[in-house]
Amino acid sequence: MFLQILFIILYIVAILSLIYGLWMIVPFFYRLPWVPTAKDRARRALKMVDLKPNELLYDLGAGDGRILFMAAKEFGARAIGIEASPLQYAFTWLRIFFKGRHPFGHRQAQIQVRHENFFQTDLSDADVIFAYLTPKLTIRFQDDLAKKLKPGARVIAVAFDFPDWKPSDFDERYLLFTYDMPPQKGGMAAYLAEKEDF
């Protein structure tokens, strides 16, 4: 009896370790590790771009879906998460399902998640983009992103800026950068040069 219980516990621990391992490892294949944005940081970002009710936000790499839920619950926005890793995608899908928010992606759904590579996503209807990328990915994506987004769309960059674009706002404490589309050239240098202190 004791051995049976031990075997079951070891089995559960092995399965959980495997899930945890895949959760952490798969995003590395896309060269973008899973690092969730802290809630106060995300809230500050969504306030900086003045996210409004019914506007459409895309989270590029939705992770556990926290940005989508915050955008919908606290700002009344619609939110679409793009996620390439199957585990993060399944987790967010289930989260949406159990909150009864129609994860099947029908047109009226307030929150959706798509199993997709964000480089291939049509973002032409986005009002706000939430991008927690790496320095290499911001460089690689910036020209393409500028072409994909409609004029008036806003972009939030967490931790790493889009180097060629001049931010419309910058939060030093949370390391957040926002941009209005089409982007102005000049990067952070142009933004800082405009500030009185510099």
Ligand X SMILES: C[S@@+](CC[C@H](N)C(=O)[O-])C[C@H]1O[C@@H](n2cnc3c(N)ncnc32)[C@H](O)[C@@H]1O
C-beta of residue 2 within 8 angstroms of C-beta of residue 104: no
Q: Which is nearer to ligand X, 161 or 166 (CB)?
A: 161
Q: Which is nearer to ligand X, 123 or 166 (CB)?
A: 123
Rounded to whole angstroms, how far apart are CA atoms 110 and 50? 18
Q: How far is the CB of 96 from ligand X (least distance, A)?
A: 15
Residue nearest ligand X by beta-carbon distance = 61
Would you state the torsion angle of the CA atoms of residues 20, 97, 128, 141, taken in this order, to the nearest 10 degrees? 40
Q: How far is the CB of 63 from ligand X (least distance, A)?
A: 3
Instruction: Classify residue 1 by its DSSP letter.
Output: -
Q: Are strands 78-83 and 56-60 parallel, antiparallel or unpaired?
A: parallel
Angular region, 177: left φ>0, alpha ψ -120 to 50, beta rest: beta
Distances in Å between the Cα of 9 and the Cα atoms of 2, 18, 67 are 11, 14, 34
Q: How far is the CB of 93 from ligand X (least distance, A)?
A: 13
Radius of gyration of the chain (CA): 19
How big, in percent rounded to 5, are the helix, strand and coil portions of the chain? 45, 20, 40
Looking only at residues 58 through 97 of this chain, which bind ligand X when binding is defined by CB under 6 A? 59, 61-63, 66-67, 82-85, 88
- Judged by CB under 6 A, does residue 177 bind ligand X? no
Q: Which is nearer to ligand X, 54 or 117 (CB)?
A: 117
- Judged by CB under 6 A, does residue 138 bind ligand X? no
Q: Taking CB under 6 A as the rule, which mask of x and - marks residues 5-24 in contact with ligand X?
A: --------------------
Q: How far is the CB of 185 from ligand X (least distance, A)?
A: 26
Rounded to whole angstroms, how far apart are CA atoms 179 and 48? 10
- Judged by CB under 6 A, does residue 167 bind ligand X? no
Q: Taking CB under 6 A as the rule, which mask of x and - marks residues 34-53 in contact with ligand X?
A: xxxx----------------
Q: Which is nearer to ligand X, 55 or 59 (CB)?
A: 59
Which stretches of the chain bind ligand X, using CB under 6 A?
Answer: 27, 30, 32, 34-37, 59, 61-63, 66-67, 82-85, 88, 117-119, 132
